[in-house]
Amino acid sequence: MESRIESKNGKLWSKETARPSLHHTQHKFSRMMSDDNQDTFRNINRKPGLQIWTINNMKMVPVPAQGFGNFFEGDCYIVLCISEKKGSGQSADIHYWIGNSSSQDEQGAAAIYVTQLDEYLGGSPVQHREVQGNESPHFRSYFKNGLIYKKGGVASGFHHVDTNVYNILRLLHVKGRKHVTAMEVEVSWNSFNNGDIFLLDMGKAIVQWNGPQSNRREKLKAVLLAQDIRDRERGGRAQIGVVEGGDEQSSPELMKVMTAVLGQRTGQLKEAIPDDKPDQVQNTSVRLYHVFENSGNLVVQEVATQPLTQDLLHSTDCYIVDQRGSSVMVWKGKQASKEERREALNRAVGYIKAKNYPSNTSVEVMTEGGESAMFKHLFKSWRDKGQTQGLGTTYSIGKIAKVDQVKFDVMELHARPELAAQQRMVDDASGDVKVWRIENLELAEVNPSTYGQFYGGDCYLVLYTYQKSGREQYILYMWQGRHATQDEITASAYQAVNIDNKYNGAPVQVRVIMGKEPRHFLAIFKGKLIIFEGGTGRPGVVNPDGGARLFQVRGTNELNTKATEVLARASSLNTNDVFLLKTDHMCYLWYGKGCSGDERVMGRAMSDVLSKQDKQVVMEGQEPAEFWVALGGKAPYASDKRMLREEPPHSPRLFECSNQTGKFRMTEVDDFAQSDLDEEDVMLLDTWEEVFFWVGNSANQCEIKEAWNCAQEYLRTHPAGRDPDTPIIFVKQGYEPPTFTGWFNAWDPHKWSDLNNTNLNKSPAGTGVGGYRAPGGPMSSPPVYRLHGGDLSPRPTTPTSPSTQRALSSGSMTLSPSSSYTPSSPAGGTMSPSAGGSGMYLDPELLINKSPSELPQGVDPSQREDYLSDVDFENLLGTNRSDFKRLPKWRQSDLKKKAGIF
């Protein structure tokens, strides 16, 4: 079958046999289909979790959990992930992974199985094509500790992932900081280089060699991978040792082990291998194509370029969205023919060939109603069918959204950070407000009687103080007038740093562009926020008299109302809103036919702030002549009734910003968690309505500067046509507001403050520092390094038994999984390396129903559960540490209260 790619006007772009010929594979596949294959589908677990199959003799063969994350280069795999969606049931993703050495027959069989699996699951899963070495962040997120590429295929060593098999000798080359991959290489010093990390896996022992030019984050990720191998493939019984490549003399016994296996090293090691090119964060060249067949030819016809809108997609057709080759997405309408839907994946591959894109180009296939978050991010607006309203209702008209929110309960917002994040409200706006104006490049306090009045010729700093858990929290808003001078804008940033220093770096900094005020900023002025187009609020300065002034009022209560000055012309009116027209002798309240009673009430309240003159209510259609005269005469204006709709739902996206590789790069983190926030980097969290700029305590100034510029460039070049003035919120590690933490499934405020050195060869039952439960294996916990540099290797304690184990123990850490140190503690507890962050297990009687002053010395009253043994923990709280850590904070607090340890 031929493939044609046509432009929007039907002009032919290219013509070639682009569609892969799978007929041979399909015939062979159909002959080999058996009842066993049908049973594979029937035995699929529909509960949330991960399931993996490999293609072996054209059949889907399940991969045991111990083998998850191991991929043979000569094979193809099918990965099914079923997950729970908040409030909307389950979602499913099907990935088929292509090894670099896999055969065309295996690739064809995997593609056909994916299509059949999709149909078996009702056509709702999103299908993904993954190529070795170019896997999507979504795929990599399933394997937080990294992917291992193994030589050969199923036939040569599929059973090597059995637990407790120790006759292994391999060398793994580890690369990556966020997305870790480990490839089997020749077991020789020739494979090493100065910039990367290598794991010498000898079955019962694993030695990690850190290149002199590798950084802390890379070392930590490699340790996680080593622990993952130990836990899943060795049943937790392998020993781990670490050698610092720049300080090998400090680990003489470990080096003896490496030399015994690798031989004597001759000559210098190779220089560092440059990291792969930075992830493509976004591509502004986005095109939508209609895919259909015409007289046996596959026709791909251009429909539109960015920004795309949802109404371009019709249920009867199939479409391709192309991000200039960085990814290709196929959308299948529910009413498209069965043949069209079945051929979607095949057509995407054909399209890639016709466009001469690389064979490893990312492919996603989705059905109407089951679109991926990334797909929705390419559209300027998106509304899911049957979408329910949240706590508030949003009206959108033109470029400004109107938000109708309920009265907030501050305790509810603190107990449920996810609610605070969704509503963009840290509290109920009942805190303290202080406002300064930039005058002569210095700070000048604003008279509280004029709080809420902002002039377009000025810049202001607004400090908001509120209480959370008995501690004061701060937000510093930097409001920049449209007509302020560049010197004033620069001075506002400089003065913001001074205020930030005065409060020891605690304030969350928010840049606010005039007219783009975020929700919480509106709320703190209690329905009295007025934005004047120009002029200044400086005392003694007389603003030029421009005659009549017109203000548009939007809002339904004191939390969401503002009045914005617009051009005093009839064309500025809108039938959906309230307007205030201020003249020399009168203030008119104009009520459009589409405005609500609540909006009229807020308009009346705003008129009292704006003017002390007489007020006259004017209903649309009943205006006196004087009203039109003041506006320069009657003229057409927007008179269409607005439609009620919610703001487009877009899933948040997290990006890591780093220059640790020598070049600044942004990398997206899929399925993110708090553990993905790297204290040595800057992170960008895009929640669509706001962009958070999170700075780790150890991030360098170059990263901060580059990330700030990159955040603005990210908005400017976004394919969905984002507003470049979207609020950018500056957040420092340790001072995160609930509007930030609420986007994370679980947030531990003590995560960084509780960091202590720990034992690499221990596997605590629960950890809040990046630990993850390996499928089929025990909880794997990373070593917890010091916060600011220093030696990255925990110190030795107890040596272990004979030969290699004895040699390993003299390295830079303890290698015995059974060693412990248990002197008696003053409080009557038992010291243990795995007890919370404190090193102590205490008798529950010392913790339950005790006031802070009655607790043993050194016990954190807010973290008493950390001092319980695992058995006491489960008995008191009814759950284990691991599951407890995954609970939302309000649920954790509830369990602790019931147990008497709150």
For residue range 617-674, list pLDDT tens digits in order: 999 999 999 999 999 998 888 776 543 334 446 778 888 877 655 556 677 777 777 8
CB atoms within 10 A of CB 636: 8
The pLDDT tens digits for 471-523 are 889 999 999 998 999 899 889 988 998 998 899 888 988 888 888 888 889 98
How confident is the model at residue 757, as a pLDDT?
A: 38
**Cα 82 to Cα 48: distance, rounded to the nearest angstrom:** 5
Q: Are 615 and 637 in contact (CB under 8 A)?
A: no
39-81 pLDDT, tens digit per residue, is 667 778 888 888 999 988 778 888 888 888 889 988 999 999 8
Pairing status of strand 205-210 against strand 197-201 = antiparallel
- Region 252-262: what's the mean pLDDT? 90
Nearest to 783 by CA among 767, 765, 804: 767
Selected residue with higher pLDDT from 365 and 345? 365
Tell me the range of 298-312, 398-412, 622-636 where mean pLDDT is highest.
622-636
- Please tell me the predicted confidence (pLDDT) of residue 390: 29
Taking residues 564-574, report their average pLDDT: 88
Q: Residue 727, preceding bond cis, omega within 30 degrees?
A: no
Evaluate if residue 455 carries a pLDDT over 90.
Answer: yes
What are 346's two structure tokens?
């095949």
Closest C-alpha among 788, 787, 876 to residue 837: 787
Percent pLDDT > 70 in the chain is 74
In 3-state terms, what secondary structure has residue 4?
strand
Higher-confidence residue: 372 or 170?
Answer: 170
Whether residue 348 has pLDDT greater than 60: yes
| CA 472 – CA 801 distance, rounded (Å) | 54
In the 3-class helix/strand/coil scheme, how is 591-639 assigned residue by residue?
ECCCCCHHHHHHHHHHHHHHCCCCEEEEECCCCCHHHHHHCCCCCCCEC
- Counting residues of the chain whose pLDDT is more than 90, the rounded percentage is 15
Count of C-beta atoms within a 10 Å radius of residue 350: 23
Residue 384 pLDDT > 70? no
State how far the Cα of 300 lies from the Cα of 6, in Å rounded to an integer: 6
CA distances from 434 to 492, 529, 610 (A): 15, 14, 21
pLDDT (0 to 100) of residue 15: 37
Query: If phi over 0 gives left and psi between -120 and 50 gives alpha, with beta otherwise, what is residue 318?
Result: beta
Per DSSP, 801 falls in state: S
Under a CB-based contact definition with an 8 Å cutoff, are residues 553 and 578 in contact? yes
**In Å, how far are 159, 598, 763 from 237, measured between CA atoms?**
19, 67, 11
Cα separation, 352 vs 424, in Å, equals 41
Is the pLDDT at 830 greater than 50? The verdict is: no
More reliable by pLDDT, 641 or 338: 338
What does the pLDDT read at residue 158? 42
- Residue 134: predicted pLDDT: 82
In this structure, of 26-40, 263-277, 321-335, the range with the lowest mean pLDDT score is: 26-40
More confident residue, 558 or 233: 558
- pLDDT digits 0-9 by tens, 281-292: 445 578 888 877
pLDDT given for residue 624 in this prediction: 93
pLDDT value, residue 192: 93
The whole-number pLDDT of residue 662 equals: 55
Mean of all residue pLDDT scores within the chain: 75
| Of 735 and 414, more confident | 735
Q: What is the pLDDT of residue 604?
A: 93
Whole-number pLDDT of residue 305: 83
- How would residue 34 be classed by pLDDT, with cut points 50, 70 and 90? very low
- Rounded to an integer, what distance in angstroms lies between the CA atom of residue 708 and that of residue 706? 5
pLDDT at 436 over 80: yes
Q: What local confidence, expressed as pLDDT, does residue 145 receive?
A: 80
Give residue-wise pLDDT tens across range 849-865.
887 777 877 787 888 88
Q: Which residue has the tokens 């009168």?
A: 586
Identify the H or E element spanning 501. Answer: helix 486-502
Give the model confidence (pLDDT) of 471-480 as tens digits: 889 999 999 9
β-bridge partners, 433:
464
Cβ neighbors of 267 (< 8 A, separation 6 or more) are none
Our separate counts of H helices and E strands in the chain read 22, 42
Once rounded to an integer, what is the mean pLDDT over residues 726-749?
81
Q: What is the pLDDT of residue 416?
A: 63
Instruction: Provide mean pLDDT across the span 240-266.
Output: 89
Distance CA 70, CA 639 (A): 62
Give CA–CA dist 68/50, Å, rounded.
9
In this predicted structure, what is the pLDDT of residue 469? Answer: 75
* 274 pLDDT tier (thresholds 50, 70, 90): low
Please tell me the least confidently modeled range out of 112-126, 302-316, 450-464, 812-826. 812-826
| In the predicted structure, residue 836 carries a pLDDT above the cut 70 | no
> The pTM is what?
0.51
d(CA 220, CA 242) in angstroms, rounded, equals 11
The residue among 381 and 210 whose pLDDT is bigger is 210
Average pLDDT on 778-794 reads 29
Question: Parallel, antiparallel, or unpaired: how do β-strands 432-439 and 362-367 relate?
Answer: unpaired
Specify the pairing of strand 181-185 against strand 170-175. Answer: antiparallel
Looking at 95-109, 420-434, 443-457, which range is the least confident one? 420-434
What amino acid is encoded at 71 in this protein? F
Extract the tokens encoding 580.
């205030």
Q: Is 895 helix (H, G, I), strand (E, B) or coil?
A: helix
Cα(453)–Cα(431) distance, integer angstroms = 18
